[in-house]
Amino acid sequence: MFYLFESDFLGLIPETFLLLGLSTLLGYGVWYEKGRESEMTSHQLWVGGLCLAFTFILLCESPLMNMILCFNTLIIDGMSAYLKALILLSTLCIFGLSFSYLQQERIKAFEYVILLLLATLSLMLMVSSYDFISLYLAIEFQSLGLYVLAALKRDNEYSTEAGLKYFVLGAFSSGFYLFGASLIYGLTGTTNFEDLGILFTGVGPTDLFTQGSVVVGLLFLSVAFLFKISAAPFHMWSPDVYEGAPTVITAFFSVAPKLALFGVLIRVFYLGFFDFLFSWQQIFFFCSLASMVFGSFGALAQVKIKRLLAFSSIGHVGYMLIGLATGSLQGLQGIFLYLLIYLVMTINAFSVVLSLRTHEGEPRFLLDLKNLNLKSPILALTFSLTLFSMAGIPPLAGFLSKFYLFFAALDASLYSLAILGVLSSVISCFYYISIIKLMYFHKAEEVQLKPLVGIDGQKGFLLGITFFGILFIFLYPSPFFLLSHAAALSIS
Amino acid sequence: MSLIHSLHVSFVVFLLGLVGIYLNRKNIILVLMSIELMLLGINLNLLSFSVSLDDLLGQIFALFILTVAAAESAIGLAILVIYFRLRGTIDIEFIRLMKG
């Protein structure tokens, strides 16, 4: 007798657990504790965090390392395990940041936790999808959750506008994705990545018809993904959305979807279309160049903190696209390492930004950072070292990741990318250092300093642990090298 | 009617949706409609490929797109409603609270 999906659910245990956990939380939110919403969000955050932690343990302890599930629509391999672990960690960090934020902003919506958990689940599915259909469903699942999260503050004009913009551009890029996928389906009759990879084996530049028509589909696909990771010519939505969305959600946007989308990009282009390397390499080459340049020059003109962080993340995406453009194992390893360190740096930067709150509200402008040294010397030191790390100054973590990617680019003879990468990180140093100047060397004025609200335990813990990572990953990087190498090996 | 004919139709519908998003300067409802038009063109594309390849996968894909598009436009309209409640307008010209 043929059992349908006999062992598939064994491979999906982490996802199933997360789904059941968040359904329980949803039921709890609907039926229990009506009228005590503000306490309830805190309880839900704790339980949701616990749920994520157990999912993380289930994921790490899973005995199934390589498996193709559900009629070739999902896959588990080293890369999916690595990226899923990072996604879970990033959501856990966002939960840690949310405790005080939700209370300070008086967001009394238990949906917050559930939507974040749903988004995490969809990102995990995205990383393991192995087929255009399942990938589309996972991407839409993620987008639908994130649109609502961006517009979470229903009574705030900025937040709703961010939600609206995110919705329009997200739907637009999904349309591009679908068009590309439909063209490729029409040409090949399959939507499975592995089948595509096998089908295209050896289709070189000799077969001009196949080459030309597949490349049109690939162009649409890559434009869709580049929209979603906010790489340069398609980045115009991201500063607006990042500025308007609530700050914890901005932190989530700038980390978790990028982790998953890089996984998807690698899966599609390295598994499905690797034989068209020389066609798509040019797309990513151009976008990487443009992102680095726009990221560093655009950030120079910013006066608001969150917009600056948005441009900084565009620049980081540009560096990661270098690794994608190399088409080599080393480049992939560089991306995985960069994603890990980017996660640590971004969480640290956003926890500092969230800790800068005064009694008058959230800081919005860069000028609010002025004289931070006098208000809170430790916070100023942490933020300045994080900024140095983002700029890639040697003894810090950010240097390690950039160094590795640039060497991968040199090995793949992408000299111009490596040189431009170094130059643009020099330019980015300028605006990072100008923030440090604001914090330390701004002439103290007569006006009295507004005291900070204070940092709660969860945020303090996150600040400490990420700062530790930024300082010391460089001294003992071998576990991270090994992890990212294992993830990269599963693709080749 | 050959595959090429139906592909012409679906490509034109897709491009109309695409151009509609860019050229439209009136209000956001039109943007939502253009997005639906894009998805419609893609569906037609998938269906004609599916018929010409004699393969069911494209039709399954089209069904999924239909359902997801419905959910997506529901969320889009919900966001539009809360936006209208706050600002009192859905004119594209006024959606520039933040620069850009």
Quick one: which of A395, A389, A413 has its CA closest to A476? Answer: A395
pLDDT tens for each residue of B1-58: 788 999 999 999 999 999 998 888 788 899 999 999 999 999 999 999 999 999 999 9
Q: Which residue has the higher pLDDT, A252 or A43?
A: A252
Note the maximum CA span of chain B. 51
Of A93-97, A103-107, A466-470, which gets the smallest average pLDDT? A103-107
Chain A CB within 8 Å of residue B9 CB: no
Cβ <8 Å between A185 and B46: yes
Quick one: which of A392, A396, A227 has its CA closest to A314? Answer: A227
Cβ <8 Å between A161 and B35: no
Chain A CB within 8 Å of residue B80 CB: yes
Which of A35-44, A90-99, B89-98 ranks highest by mean pLDDT? Answer: A90-99
Cβ <8 Å between A164 and B79: yes
Grade residue A75 by pLDDT with cuts at 50, 70 and 90: very high
**Closest CA–CA distance from residue B1 to any residue of chain A (Å):** 17
Cα three-residue angle A321-A327-A328, rounded to 5 degrees: 110
Quick one: which of A113, A89, A98 has its CA closest to A342? Answer: A89
Q: What pLDDT does residue A284 have?
A: 95
- Chain A residues within an 8 Å CB radius of B38: 172, 175, 179
Instruction: Indicate if the pLDDT at residue A65 is higher than 90.
Output: no
Cβ <8 Å between A137 and B28: no
Instruction: Give the residue from chain B lying closest to A303, CA to CA.
Output: B99
Quick one: which of A310, A219, A217, A228 has its CA closest to A263? Answer: A228
Grade residue A205 by pLDDT with cuts at 50, 70 and 90: low
Grade residue A444 by pLDDT with cuts at 50, 70 and 90: low
What H or E segment, with its residue span, contains residue A68? strand A67-69
Q: Which whole number is the average pLDDT over A322-333?
A: 93
Grade residue A455 by pLDDT with cuts at 50, 70 and 90: confident
Task: Centre a 10 Å sphere on the Cβ of residue A10 and count the other Cβ atoms it contains.
Answer: 14
Q: Which whole number is the average pLDDT over A311-325?
A: 94
CA dist., res. A297 & res. B64, Å (int): 41
Distance of CA A62 to the CA centre of its chain: 24
pLDDT tens for each residue of A125-167: 999 999 999 999 999 999 999 999 999 988 888 999 999 999 9
* CB-closest option in B38, B57, B95 to A191: B57
Name the interface residues of A facing B (CB cutoff 8 Å). 132-133, 136-137, 140, 143-144, 147-148, 151, 154-158, 160-165, 167-168, 171-172, 174-175, 178-179, 181-183, 185-186, 189-191, 236, 239-240, 243-244
Instruction: Indicate if the pLDDT at residue A287 is higher than 70.
Output: yes
Full set of structural domains in chain B with CATH: 3-87 (1.10.287.3510)
* CB-closest option in B45, B71, B87 to A157: B87
Instruction: Indicate if the pLDDT at residue A448 is higher than 70.
Output: no
Q: ipTM of this model? A: 0.95
Q: What pLDDT does residue A446 have?
A: 56
Task: Centre a 10 Å sphere on the Cβ of residue A295 and count the other Cβ atoms it contains.
Answer: 27
